[in-house]
A and B are shown apart, each in its own frame.
Chain A
Amino acid sequence: MSFYGLVDGSEKSLIHFLDQLSGVDQVGAESRAAMLATRSIKTSSKKWAIETAISMVDLTTLEGADTPGKVRALCSKAVRPDPTDPTVPSVGAVCVYNDMVEIARTHLDAIGGEHVPVAAVSTAFPSGRASMAVKIQDTQDAINAGAAEIDMVIDRGAFLSGKFGLVFDEIVKIREVCGDKAHLKVIFETGELVTYDNVRKASYLAMLAGADFIKTSTGKIAPAATPPVVLVMLEAVRDFYSLTQRKIGVKPAGGIRTTKDAIKQLVLVNETAGPEWLTPDLFRIGASALLNDLLMQRMKMSDGYYASPNYVTID
């Protein structure tokens, strides 16, 4: 692989590339994100933002207590988020653990949800602490079961101890397993990388290694998809595009629970990476509770009043 002609695959060239990236000033990044959070999105633009956000949700259940029944319920919700209103778009994907992929795929196909992809978390999610053989098998199983999107975690221990080559190689290998069968999303767990400099380095590392999407978090660690973290990642995909002409997607996940939070994310996309990124192909929001708040806000916009939570389905 050529890695866009920017690195040759060796750790040395990778470190050289990451070292020449500009630093991120924490105060500046946080104040830019805070300023963008003051954008006031009303009326027609709010309506558009809610519809768009719904189509970008990766509707997720990642619990030890997940059962086939729970996953099937989630799939129904994903295809028709509001059963009383067919104009509500389907969500971006259903995101489940490896062993639930087949159940999800089968059920989606059975209920007319062929267009909704199944995303599987992979590579010993959420910790990433397993052998490479296990990680490859984990990914292969998910693809065999019908996953069209693989959400892999990076080895944060390796990253934090400076073994960038190891992290890079893992992504490259998983990318190979995905081939043209599955989109690859690379999860950084930004709450464990802590600094914005690390987030920027991880973003470039993953993009160079072949990620289709870069994703903030597993949802198991807080803080997760904070606006400044997403800002730094959006800057990375914007600059990577001008470097390589390839658009990489961004997926914030974790902590985005309200319509207000989701709209803030869309504003960040619009004013950082640009409007071309405002499509489910390039921006997803990993969430579970968010969808119902979006639906309730959508009802409020058409009916003029807030309905009781009993008017949206719990799953």
Chain B
Amino acid sequence: MTFEYAPAPESRYIVSIKPKYGHFINGSFVAGKKHFPTINPATEEILSHIALGGVTDVDKAVMAAQKAYTKTWSKLSGKERGKYLYRISRILQERAREFAVLETLDNGKPIRETRDIDIPLVAAHFFYHAGWADKLDYAGLGHSPKAYGVAGQIIPWNFPLLMLAWKVAPALATGNTVVLKPAETTSLTALLFAEVCQQAELPEGVVNIVTGDGSTGAAIVNHPKIHKIAFTGSTDVGKKIARAIASTDKKATLELGGKGANIVFDDAPVDETVEGIVNGIFFNQGHVCCAGSRLIVQESVAEEIIEKLKVRMAKIRVGDPLDKNTDLGAINSKEQLLKINKLSAVGDAEGAERWSPQCKLSDKGFWFPPTIFTGVTQANRIAQEEIFGPVLSVLTFRTPQEAIDKANNSPFGLSAGIWSEKGSRIFWASQHLKAGVIWANTFNKFDPASPFGGYKESGWGREGGKHGLAAYLKNGKETGAK
């Protein structure tokens, strides 16, 4: 008999989901007009109905945020703002299990990740920024830097609550008020966060959440009273935002796509490198803008690395996201699954060799097995375009310079990984890689103190750390931002 892990599902009864949600404006929930369903991507079960925000809803939210900014939030000292942020982070910790389960239901990502990564990082972001609220004068951003007023924030579906935290925590710490739009497919944790704002007795109008689709986002971007836009999402939408604000005085930070190069040198620690490759591309079903989706491995060790990677991939547990032993959950939406299927078919057509371990995928919901393509070249679309799924393209190199050239030969520049036991090689490579985040002998590690952002088509500006504060302050210097 073998060691089969019996199902170990996390109970979903800790969350209560309403059949229908409105928007959160001026401290209370207001009914929406039109609604659309939000589903559990692992089962296609309809979880709730989400309001589709229009121009009027956005306008109401912006007016509430503007009023809160002038009347209350800008009058509070940094210390007082910090107290609210600390209170929010403590409540998030207390309700961590509830948030983790809800995120898993709505997004499809495994409970192990929401429980151990997403939600702890969310609380950490609020704690970190709470500490900055009363120290902005000493952050090296000039004498008494000033908030912009109302920040419009649009976030993606891959890390719904974490992206909310990346946006809301620095905005509030620096004294801005917020109108936030969660992604169409993953609004539920943002709406639960609205309850946390009420529970923390955050002054009304400081945080406003308007749900909806791209049109709702456009209404936020184009609203004349919004002075600062923070967006995380696709490069296509990022470009639209850049065009829309080109003739305005709006400032923006954009966190866009990526095609992260994970470079493996011949002296890499093999077993941990294989773990790092798995973590780089299969973490969060590969729905990660900074995913290590291009493996660039030295030819002399390629065979060994690929062989071990396949053995390791066969152990990835794909299935029910609520099961505590699941490693790879559901693809977030039908639309995304179609995109992954389409680009993978392109990989086949381009002559790359596709491999996936045997795994049973459920008939219901949206699933894609962990997949690698070997024999990929720079000229292949799967080496250039972001797939945003559990699909790894493997390329090889002969000399260190060739590795750097291949890594940088991309319209993106968000993340990169270097695997080597040689310190000097790590420093050399990191100086030559054009990527905003570079990991050495690890991958996909995040910390609120560390600025995150990209080169080239991967975006403008940084989030997190002191650099991230600068993006929300008027005389703060923003790295690369408009």
Contact = CB atoms under 8 A, between A and B. Distances in A.
- Do A and B assemble together? yes
A27 B442 contact: yes
A40 B3 contact: no
B275 interface: yes
Interface size class of B (residues with CB under 8 A): 20 to 34
Contacts of B325: 39-40
Interface of B: prevailing SS? loop
A275 B116 CA distance: 27
A256 to B, nearest CB: 17
Select the residue from A45, A267, A275 with max chain B CB neighbours within 10 A.
A45
7 contacts: A22-B268, A25-B269, A27-B441, A28-B271, A41-B6, A41-B8, A48-B4
Interface in A91-110: none
Interface of A: prevailing SS? helix
A10 B37 CA distance: 71
B6 A44 contact: yes
B164 to A, nearest CB: 25
B6 A45 contact: yes
B6 A43 contact: yes
A41 B7 CA distance: 8
B2 A278 contact: yes
Contact of B272 (A32, A41, A44, A49): A32
B139 interface: no
Contacts of B135: none
Interface of A: 22-25, 27-29, 31-32, 38-46, 48-49, 52, 235, 266-267, 270-271, 275, 278
B112 interface: yes
Contacts of B442: 27-28
A262 B127 CA distance: 36
Nearest to A43: B6
Contacts of A27: 272, 441-442
Contacts of A39: 5, 324-325
A28 B276 contact: yes
B309 interface: no
B3 A266 contact: yes
Interface string B431-454: 000000000011000000000000
A32 B308 CA distance: 15
A30 to B, nearest CB: 10
Contact of B421 (A23, A31, A270, A275): A23
Given A28-B269, A48-B4, A270-B3, 7 more contacts: A24-B272, A25-B421, A27-B272, A27-B442, A28-B276, A41-B5, A271-B315
B47 interface: no
Contacts of A24: 269, 271-272
Select the residue from A27, A40, A266, A271 with max chain B CB neighbours within 10 A.
A40
Given A49-B3, A271-B315, A38 B324 contact: yes
B449 to A, nearest CB: 18
A235 B271 contact: yes
Cβ-closest 9 pairs across A and B? A28-B272, A40-B8, A25-B272, A40-B324, A25-B269, A22-B270, A45-B6, A275-B2, A43-B6
A44 B2 CA distance: 12
A279 to B, nearest CB: 11
B271 A29 contact: yes
A23 B423 CA distance: 13
A32 B270 CA distance: 13
A148 B275 CA distance: 39
B315 A42 contact: no
B1 interface: yes
A43 B112 CA distance: 19
A42 B275 contact: no
B269 A42 contact: no
A266 B2 CA distance: 11
Contacts of B4: 44-45, 48
Contact of A23 (B5, B116, B269, B315): B269
